[in-house]
């Protein structure tokens, strides 16, 4: 600041007013100071801003999932792309950390709050029994829950969510129209709110339609477990005629496992992926999949958090229901 003041021919206090957007200097002086600062390559100190109560200019994002399942998960890559795109418009940073479990994730929030590391957080994978909303309320840390349905117990938290139940109903409706009565849902991690919503929706649809041989099996989202469950359910009698996977990675692994056992897709078993991605069009046959704009999902979540940071009220925003795109992996039920 001394260098800027000397070169601009003003006092250090005038430099502070100009660079922090405060009144007390003319627009001519403000412009001159900013030009000099730019010439000198000056950038605001995040640590100094935090200590002075001006905020960290950073948003936090913790992911409590097995690290070895993240590198191939297209949903989170696209989600983070959308988040970063919006944050970059405001010159905000994204502080990302992987945690072993929710307990460790909560410890990260406490540390970030105590150290003034972040101005707010984006929370993913809401759980049916989730300690994080209470903690964030206690800390007074602005937050947006991604994938969380409306929760009257935490009116200070915003949420952005998709209608998983409606999407599952659409998938079951189409499979039933193709004659499928034995359907297995190869789900993701147990305890996640969206996993539970999908499983409940499948049970409700099965009950409504009188389908007795319909079930969900939980996994860790990995290709290894997706393939293992596929082999297990196809080796029993009677075997399912349709498989619905909670992500594209498991669906691709499931097709490989099925064909490895000698099953023809879709002649003998149909396959649907919950997430659409390039992977779905690189496997043979191409995968039918539920499509949603995951990048826009991230943008929406980031915008809602910025609105909270700007002093706006908490809101619940529902994104469009994923739509089923039929490709070559689904057909009429025949089975073996």
Dihedrals phi, psi of 196, to nearest 5 degrees: -65, -40
Give domain 164-291's CATH superfamily.
Response regulator (3.40.50.2300)
> pLDDT tens string for the chain (336 positions)?
788 888 888 888 888 888 776 787 888 888 888 888 888 776 655 445 544 455 679 999 999 987 766 666 778 889 999 999 999 999 999 999 999 999 999 999 999 999 999 999 999 999 988 999 999 999 999 999 999 776 767 888 999 999 999 999 999 999 999 999 999 999 999 999 999 999 999 999 999 999 999 999 999 999 999 999 999 999 999 999 999 999 999 999 999 999 999 999 999 999 999 999 999 999 999 999 999 999 999 999 999 999 999 999 999 999 999 999 999 999 999 877
DSSP letters spanning 79-108: HHHHHHHHHHHTT-EEEEEE-SSHHHHHHH
What is the side-by-side order of every strand in the sheet holding 242-245?
A: 214-217, 183-186, 242-245, 270-273, 288-291, 323-325
Write the DSSP symbol of residue 221: S
Distance CA 220, CA 250 (A): 10
CATH class of 58-162+294-318: alpha beta
CB 226 within 8 A of CB 245: yes
Q: What is the average pLDDT value for the chain, to the nearest integer? A: 90
Strands 323-325 and 58-63: unpaired
Q: How far is CA 273 from CA 66, 281, 286, 320, 336, in A?
A: 21, 11, 10, 18, 22
Residues of the chain with CATH 1.10.260.40: 2-43
**pLDDT tens digits for 272-325?**
999 999 999 999 999 999 999 999 999 999 999 999 999 999 999 999 999 999
Dihedrals phi, psi of 60, to nearest 5 degrees: -100, 150
Dihedrals phi, psi of 162, to nearest 5 degrees: -115, 155
Distance CA 254, CA 230 (A): 6
User: Degrees (nearest 5) of the Cα angle 47, 312, 159?
Assistant: 90
Q: What is the pTM of this model?
A: 0.81
163 is written with which tokens?
């209608």
The CATH architecture annotation of domain 2-43 reads Orthogonal Bundle (1.10)
Residues of the chain with CATH 3.40.50.2300: 58-162+294-318, 164-291
Strands 288-291 and 323-325: antiparallel
């Amino acid at each position: 600041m001394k260098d800027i003041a000397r070169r601009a021919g003003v006092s250090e206090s005038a430099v502070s007013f100009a660079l922090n957007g405060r009144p007390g200097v003319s627009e001519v002086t403000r412009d001159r100071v900013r030009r000099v600062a730019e010439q000198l390559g000056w950038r605001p100190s995040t640590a100094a801003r935090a200590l002075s109560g001006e905020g960290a200019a950073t948003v936090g994002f913790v992911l409590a999932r097995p690290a070895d399942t993240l590198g191939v998960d297209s949903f989170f890559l696209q989600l983070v792309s959308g988040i970063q795109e919006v944050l970059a418009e405001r010159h905000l940073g994204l502080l990302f950390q992987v945690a072993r479990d929710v307990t460790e994730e909560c410890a990260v929030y406490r540390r970030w709050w105590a150290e003034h590391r972040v101005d707010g957080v984006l929370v993913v994978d809401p759980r049916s029994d989730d300690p994080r909303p209470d903690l964030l309320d206690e800390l007074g840390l602005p937050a947006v829950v991604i994938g969380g349905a409306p929760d009257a117990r935490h009116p200070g938290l915003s949420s952005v969510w998709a209608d998983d139940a409606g999407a599952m109903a659409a998938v079951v409706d189409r499979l039933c129209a193709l004659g499928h009565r034995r359907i297995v849902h190869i789900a993701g991690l147990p305890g996640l709110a969206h996993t539970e919503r999908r499983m409940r929706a499948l049970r409700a649809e099965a009950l409504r339609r009188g389908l007795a041989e319909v079930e969900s099996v939980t996994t860790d989202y990995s290709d290894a477990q997706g393939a293992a469950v596929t082999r297990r359910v196809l080796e029993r009698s009677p075997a399912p005629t349709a498989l619905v996977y909670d992500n594209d990675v498991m669906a691709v692994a499931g097709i490989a496992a099925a064909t490895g056992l000698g099953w023809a897709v879709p002649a003998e078993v149909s396959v649907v992926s919950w997430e659409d991605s390039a992977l779905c069009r690189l496997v043979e046959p191409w995968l039918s999949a539920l499509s949603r704009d995951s990048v826009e999902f991230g943008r929406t979540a980031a915008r809602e958090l910025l609105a909270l940071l700007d002093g706006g009220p908490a809101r619940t925003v529902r994104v469009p229901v994923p739509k089923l795109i039929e490709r070559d992996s689904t057909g009429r039920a025949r089975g073996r």
